[in-house]
Copies of this chain bind each other. A is one copy, B any other.
């Protein structure tokens, strides 16, 4: 499995999490070999946090785990696509359904298109994911 993957110079590959039902792109995070191996074994999305430089079991703190239905690899072997079931319906650390809530308008401004479903302070005991 791992030998088909082109990890970048930091040993990471971006992983897109897409909602298995709606097809909505929820978020993009990064995986190293360990994170991907654990994801495959547990069928729960496990990423590598670049800011914290460690394994990040998505939903470990918030309960908003991602059940992984399917994993795909692109032609160059440098992007993963995960089909997931987002438990709790909130993928974004801002408390939104997904991370792509800013949309470019005709004036070249980013407009926020979706609102916070749940206050992050309520989601996380202490600190953010």
Interface residues of A (CB under 8 A from B): 1, 4, 14, 16, 18, 22-25, 27-28, 40, 70-76, 79, 81, 92-94, 96, 99-104, 108-110
Contact = CB atoms under 8 A, between A and B. Distances in A.
Q: How many copies does the complex hold?
A: 2
Contact of A28 (B16, B22, B23, B109): B16
Contacts of A18: 25
A71 B110 CA distance: 9
Contacts of A99: 74-76, 79
B1 A109 contact: yes
B1 A40 contact: no
Of A76, A92, A93, A101, most buried by chain B (CB within 10 Å of CB) is A76
8 contacts: A14-B14, A23-B23, A40-B104, A70-B104, A71-B104, A72-B102, A72-B103, A73-B110
B71 A103 contact: yes
Given A14-B28, A16-B25, A16-B28, A81 B100 contact: yes
